[in-house]
Amino acid sequence: MPTFDHQRLPTLLAAMALAGMLTTTIWQVYQFWQQEENVVATESVTVANTPLAINTAPATRLADLELFGAPVSPQLTASPTETANLPSTNLRLTLRGALAADGTFPGSALVEDQTGKTEAYLVGDTLPGNARLKAVLPNRVIIERDGVLENLLFPETDNQQGLTPETVSNTNNSNDAPLVDTSPSAQGVSTGDQTRREEVHQRLQQLREQLQDRP
């Protein structure tokens, strides 16, 4: 009967332990690799199922761009006869003078507020009462308030007419500068009214000259 070499027992046990450790290590490495594979596969599925981010910035429509300037209100492009049917404003404003547009000169008006203060305004300026001066015609002005166009007329008692550029040119060559209508209905005005109107005309003409002198 062969005898067992007890001296080789420690070496055999050490070899078995080493083999067990190697087996355990290999198994752990395999488990780790499997987990990594599962994670990568899960991320791939998530990315594939995730919709692309949508740009929520509002798109600018080419039609909305004012490439050729702001559009003009259709009511302002209408003839004076059509705009004459606009409602009269109920603002407590009094039209004291009007100088219609001429070339680059946009037109101006002298408007008196409810306190009796008279100021010169250009087209586009804001008037008392949160209204905007939109257009100046010889016998009235058009204002805009809350998006609605309205007429501001001369007081009926004045029988007063505004000025066109031709009127201004003609009156500059004369000694007097009347701002009133020359019709028979306007001949009965007092000297004081005539003087006031001449002052209004002079203020409008001065404003026009100042604007023309600007670079």
Which has the minimum average pLDDT: 7-21, 49-63, 142-156? 49-63
Question: Is residue 16 pLDDT above 90, yes or no?
Answer: no
* HEC-encoded secondary structure of the chain: CCCCCHHHHHHHHHHHHHHHHHHHHHHHHHHHHHHHHHHHHHHHHHHHHCCCCCCCCCCCCHHHCCCCCCCCCCCCCCCHHHHCCCCECCCCCEEEEEECCECCECCEEEEECCCCCEEEEECCCEECCCEEEEEEECCEEEEEECCEEEEEECCHHHCECCECHHHHHHHHCCCCCCCECCCHHHCCCCHHHHHHHHHHHHHHHHHHHHHHHCC
Choice between 113 and 34, residue whose per-residue pLDDT is larger: 113
Question: Is residue 187 pLDDT above 70, yes or no?
Answer: no
Domain boundaries, the chain: 80-213
Pick one of 3.40.50.450, 3.40.920.10, 2.30.30.830, 3.40.50.300 as the CATH number of 80-213.
2.30.30.830
Mean predicted confidence (pLDDT) in 119-134:
91
- Read off the pLDDT band of 168 (50, 70, 90): very low
**What percentage of the chain reaches a pLDDT higher than 70?**
50
Reported as a single tens digit per residue, the pLDDT across 68-107 is 444 444 445 545 557 878 999 999 999 988 888 777 778 8
